[in-house]
Amino acid sequence: MADVKNSDAGSVLRGAVGLVRTAPKRMNTVEPFFMEFIAGVESVLNPLGISVMLAVTDSVEAEIATYRRWAEQSTVGAVLVTNLMVDDPRSAVLEDLGLRAVLVGEPAQDSFFPSVFASDTYAMNLVVEHLAGLGHSRIAHITGPQRFRHTATRSRVLSQLAGEYSLEITEFEGDYSDTVGESLTKKAMQGSGRPTAIVYDNDVMAVAGLHALHSLGIDVPSQVAVVAWDDSPLCRLTQPPLTTATLDVFDMGANAARVLLDDAAGVVQDGAVEMRAKLIVRGSSV
């Protein structure tokens, strides 16, 4: 990647990069993923004298309004855009505003901006291969909001793999929060055809789901296996520890910052930067 001098980078990026965290207010303090990502970004930008300006909003409309304000006031030289959505309106707005950006997520084919993304297709294949290898054929998937592109990809890939592995899939749409993770877990375990494995779209819902299973008197993993997306200390401290599809989130943040510096230096990115998760098998699925 390009070697951008401190003064050049600071000038092109105006000494600051914007990052908007858009989520329900209760989620901003409980999801470890985002703070680890920011730490990775800052590890690359801060030594160059470039600050990360963080804004917290609770709607896409408010997020877009923040971009407009930053552009009008020349507050930041670029932004990092996370949680890409199906039919995402933000890229077009940023292009119209003339704001430099890096997309953190799998981009649309006609995307104007460079991007860094984790392959959810690859990760879901790892998860299903693991669970099917243990003999599981009924799997519940407790997802994040389906408006997010990565969630839609995971659901689509799981549906495709169901035919290949002869799986019965039930899906429950959540919001990444602990309260919804707990309630959806209890809902999934109702009835006679309950799943023998549950896959959660983040660590917070998985930890809450594990608590719900314990409260129902359901043993993990002998009665139900549990797999979480994202690996944080939460997953290692549960009983049993949680199996996770884990990505180096710090490294993803660092990669996003490097791509942004390359873009500031005029280096044209040759395709999106793809990162791949690995499956860490722990006591919740053995």
Count of helix runs (H) and strand runs (E) in the chain: 10, 12
Nearest to 155 by CA among 121, 119, 117, 105: 121
pLDDT in tens, 74-122: 999 999 999 999 999 999 999 999 999 999 998 777 778 999 999 999 9
Residue with tokens 């304000």: 69
DSSP 170-236: EEEE--S-HHHHHHHHHHHT-STT--SEEEESSHHHHHHHHHHHHHTT--TTTT-EEEEES--HHHH
pLDDT in tens, 259-286: 999 999 888 887 899 999 999 999 999 9
**Cβ-contact 125, 161 below 8 angstroms:** yes
Q: Residue 29 pLDDT more than 70?
A: no
**Cβ-contact 81, 237 below 8 angstroms:** no
What pLDDT sits at residue 136?
98
What pLDDT sits at residue 8?
66
Q: Rounded mean pLDDT of 149-170?
A: 97
What pLDDT sits at residue 31?
64
Q: Rounded mean pLDDT of 179-194?
A: 94
CA 231 vs CA 68, 152, 250: distances in Å: 34, 20, 12
**Cβ-contact 64, 97 below 8 angstroms:** no
Q: Mean pLDDT lowest for which of 216-225, 236-245, 258-267?
A: 258-267
